[in-house]
Amino acid sequence: MRRAKSAMPGFIKPQLAMLKTKAPSGVDWIHEIKYDGYRIQLHIDGDTRKAFTRNGHNWVSKFSNIAGAFDIPDQAIIDGEVVVTHEGRTNFSELQAELAGRRQDRLLYYAFDLLWLDGKDLRRTSQLARKELLKELFDTHSIEAPVLYSEHLIGNGQEMFEHAARLHFEGIVSKRVEAPYRSDRNEGWLKIKAVQREKFPVVGFVKDPTGVAALYLGKKEGKELVYIGKVGTGWNRTTSAQIRKALDTVVSPQAKLTKPIKKPKATWVEPKFFAEVEYRDITSEGLLRASSFKGLTKGTRRS
């Protein structure tokens, strides 16, 4: 006779990674691709399915296809990320669009940790052992898309990070092999983010009382100057005033973009100054994502 299953816990506060500039190496670490999506904790208990966000909200109605793909007889709590992929990479803006349209066809779930299985709390089990149990769960029950097992590598994390950066992934997450699962931000998990840096011609700005609130940016595509988005962070009050002083010298009565855009608060300028910007990615709409200002120069952009 099969024993009664233990009562499952409710939402478990997720483990979060510490930001580092360089990935660790050696056999004490595993490394995974960092996914750009929504962190979701799936709870499976018989016919009951729950899908908790990072803040503990149950979004199972939004992710019913994913929750239903775990057709298993066991209790399980699985940690992972809901994503949408575009050109081989996860794309957060397209994920938001799918959710806004209440669509699920393109949603995928990368499972990367197993916290509970068939009555057993696995949080004190080592990281690598939890992943091995997760892989076994996938293999035993032939779990397939839209649910995917998140693969990992052991060893040279910096090499994996550099490869991920060349492919324009968001970065990697490195996890200590022997570490338990802890519901806080700690150094058992490390995140190493890939950022891109480039100079873009400033085509306009939004005033604030002493400087600028935002810069509108363009990009040369052949003979055309197209809009690529805005940047509104990365300066202090002094720098903001300096930017404003420089841009006031090149104010234009109209936008110099090949295809004008509507920005009622914009003051347009001749594209004589270039903003150096760090950004995470370019969205499917062709706009900068997670941009931050790093400097302003006059003249041609660097190659």
- pLDDT at res. 216: 98
- pLDDT at res. 153: 94
Q: Are residues 189 and 203 in the same domain?
A: no
Whether residue 148 is contained in a domain is answered as yes
Pick 197 or 41 by higher pLDDT.
41
Last residue of a domain, which of 171, 193, 215? 193
Tell me: pLDDT of 302 over 60: no
pLDDT (tens digit per residue) in 62-83:
999 999 999 898 899 999 999 9
Q: Are residues 179 and 93 in the same domain?
A: yes
Last residue of a domain, which of 140, 172, 193? 193
Question: Which long-range CB contacts under 8 A does 43-49 form with residues at least 24 apart?
Answer: 43/8, 43/11, 43/76, 43/77, 44/70, 44/72, 44/74, 44/75, 44/76, 44/77, 44/78, 45/5, 45/8, 45/75, 46/75
Whether residue 9 is contained in a domain is answered as no
Q: Are residues 219 and 189 in the same domain?
A: no
- Work out how many domains the chain is built from and give that number: 2
Whether residue 3 is contained in a domain is answered as no
Q: Are residues 88 and 211 in the same domain?
A: no
- pLDDT at res. 3: 53
Domain that includes residue 58, residue range? 16-193
Q: Are residues 75 and 167 in the same domain?
A: yes
Q: Mean pLDDT score of the chain, rounded to an integer? A: 92
Pick 245 or 170 by higher pLDDT.
245
Q: Are residues 162 and 29 in the same domain?
A: yes
- pLDDT at res. 274: 96
Please report, rounded to a whole number, the percentage of residues in the chain having pLDDT higher than 90: 73
Contact yes or no for 66/147 (Cβ under 8 A): yes
- pLDDT at res. 5: 60
pLDDT (tens digit per residue) in 252-275:
999 999 998 999 999 999 999 999
- Which domain CATH number covers 122? 3.30.470.30
Last residue of a domain, which of 146, 163, 193? 193
Q: Are residues 186 and 276 in the same domain?
A: no
Average pLDDT over residues 206-231: 95
Q: Are residues 189 and 209 in the same domain?
A: no
Tell me: pLDDT of 1 over 60: no
Q: Are residues 215 and 171 in the same domain?
A: no
Flag the least confident range among 86-100, 128-142, 231-245.
86-100
Whether residue 257 is contained in a domain is answered as yes
- Which domain CATH number covers 259? 2.40.50.140
Contact yes or no for 126/177 (Cβ under 8 A): yes
pTM for the full model?
A: 0.73
- pLDDT at res. 300: 52
